[in-house]
């Protein structure tokens, strides 16, 4: 029997998916910049670097969550809060499909990482002996 509940595995997978999306978007921005399609290179290159860095950090956090590191839960929750803020502003700019998709993704991921099974695995009772 696995020590990882399905809620934790799914939360880690969704966080990894978000990391992959950031890396792909960073590559898209960088490629368009190198092909000369960027409107302003001084904004496009830092955006690509930021996307690559963010994707790497989120990938590390996803791995930490999958590896049962208790510190990984906080960055996952914060990521989903930020995603909900972005979803709100997508909604106010009448991009309803993206807003609902991102908002739903964030809510599902937050619910999975805050689920009782995930919490019990990451933070076992004080008296219980668990080998990590």
75, part of any domain: yes
132, part of any domain: no
The pTM is what? 0.88
Which pLDDT belongs to residue 125?
80
As given in the structure block, the two tokens for residue 30 are 């960088």
Which pLDDT belongs to residue 1?
45
49, part of any domain: yes
130, part of any domain: no
127, part of any domain: no
Distance separating alpha carbons of residues 15 and 6, to the nearest angstrom: 14
Distance separating alpha carbons of residues 61 and 15, to the nearest angstrom: 8
Domain of 26, in residue numbers: 6-122
- Other Cβ atoms less than 10 A from the Cβ of 42: the count is 7
95, part of any domain: yes
Domain count, the chain: 1
Q: Dihedral sign, CA of 90, 88, 102, 99? A: negative
Which pLDDT belongs to residue 15?
97
128, part of any domain: no
pLDDT tens digits, the chain, 132 residues: what are they?
Answer: 468 999 999 999 999 999 999 999 999 999 999 998 988 889 999 999 999 999 999 999 999 999 999 999 999 999 999 999 999 999 999 999 999 999 999 999 999 999 999 999 999 885 555 555
Which pLDDT belongs to residue 3?
84
CA 55 to chain centre: 8
129, part of any domain: no
């Amino acid at each position: 029997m696995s020590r990882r509940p399905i809620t934790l595995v799914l939360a880690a997978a969704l966080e990894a998916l978000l990391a992959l999306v950031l890396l792909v978007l960073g590559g898209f921005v960088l490629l368009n910049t190198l092909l000369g399609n960027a409107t302003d290179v001084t904004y496009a290159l830092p955006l690509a670097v930021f996307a690559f860095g963010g994707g790497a950090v989120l990938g590390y956090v996803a791995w930490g969550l999958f590896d049962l590191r208790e510190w990984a839960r906080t960055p996952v929750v914060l990521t989903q809060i930020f995603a909900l803020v972005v979803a709100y502003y997508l909604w106010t700019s009448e991009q309803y499909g993206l807003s609902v998709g991102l908002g739903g993704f964030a809510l599902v991921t937050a619910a999975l990482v805050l689920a009782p099974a995930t919490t019990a695995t990451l933070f076992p009772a004080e008296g219980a002996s668990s080998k990590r």
